[in-house]
Amino acid sequence: MAPKYAPSLRSRLAPFLLFLQIGFVVVYYFYIEIESNVNGIKFSNFYPVFQDLNVVVFLGFGFLSTFLVRYGFSGSGFNLLIAVIGTQWALLLNGFESWYYRGKIRIDLNSLVVAEMCTASVLISIGAVQGKTNPVHLILMALLEVFGFVLNEWLLQTLLPVRQLNFIMVLHIFGAFFGLVLTWILCRTESFQGFEKEKLDRKTGLFSMLGTVFLWMFWPSFNSILMEERRLSAVCSTYLALAVCAVASVALSVLSSPKGKAHFQSCILAGGVAVGVSMPAIRYPWEAMTTGLAAAAVSTVGFQYLKVNHMLFAFECHDTCSVLSTHGLPGLLGWLIQLVLQIQQCDDHTMAIRFAVFHIDALLITLATSLTMGFLTGVLLKWDIWRPPQDKKCFDDQAFWKFEHLAVRK
| 53-82: contacts with a copy of itself (CB under 8 A) | 54-55, 58-59, 62-63, 66, 69-70, 72-73, 76-77, 80-81
13's CB contacts (< 8 A; 6+ apart) are 134, 135, 136
| Position 405 contacts a copy of itself (CB under 8 A) | yes
Beta carbon of residue 78, minimum distance to a copy of itself (angstroms, whole number): 9
- Which residue, 344 or 350, has its beta carbon nearer to a copy of itself? 344
Distance CA 177, CA 227 (A): 25
* Interface with a copy of itself, residue 49, by CB under 8 A: yes
Task: Please check whether residue 115 is in contact with residue 309, taking contact to mean a CB–CB distance below 8 angstroms.
Answer: no
* Subset of residues 104 to 133 that bind a copy of itself, contact rule: CB under 8 A: 107-109, 112
Largest CA distance in the chain: 72
The CA distance from 360 to 166, in Å, is: 13
Q: Please give the distance of CA 216 from its chain centroid, rounded to a whole number.
A: 14
- In the 8-state DSSP scheme, what is residue 279? G
Distance CA 22, CA 28 (A): 10
> Which positions ≥6 away from 138 have C-beta within 8 Å?
78, 81, 82, 126, 129
Q: Among 102, 159, 262, 309, which residue interacts with a copy of itself (rule: CB under 8 A)? A: 262
Q: Least Å distance between CB 58 and a copy of itself?
A: 5
Asked if 103 interacts with a copy of itself (CB under 8 A), we say no
Judged by beta carbon, residue 177 or residue 400, the one nearer a copy of itself is 400
- Residues 157-196 interacting with a copy of itself (rule: CB under 8 A): none
H helices within 107-201, ranges in order? 109-129, 135-159, 167-185, 190-193
Binding to a copy of itself by residue 36, rule CB under 8 A? yes
207 touches a copy of itself by CB under 8 A: yes
Cα(375)–Cα(372) distance, rounded to whole angstroms? 5
Least Å from the CB of residue 285 to a copy of itself: 5
Rule CB under 8 A: which of 218-237 touch a copy of itself? 218, 221, 231-233, 235-237
Residue 88 touches a copy of itself, criterion: CB under 8 A = yes
Separation CA 361–CA 280 (nearest Å): 17
Q: Mask 324-353, x = binds a copy of itself (CB under 8 A)?
A: ------------------------------
Applying CB under 8 A, among 96, 192, 284, 383 the residue interacting with a copy of itself is 284
Residue 21 or residue 345: which is nearer to a copy of itself going by CB? 21
* Candidate segments 149-157, 208-216, 335-343, 378-386, binder of a copy of itself by CB under 8 A: 208-216
What φ, ψ does residue 33 adopt, rounded to 5°? -140, 160
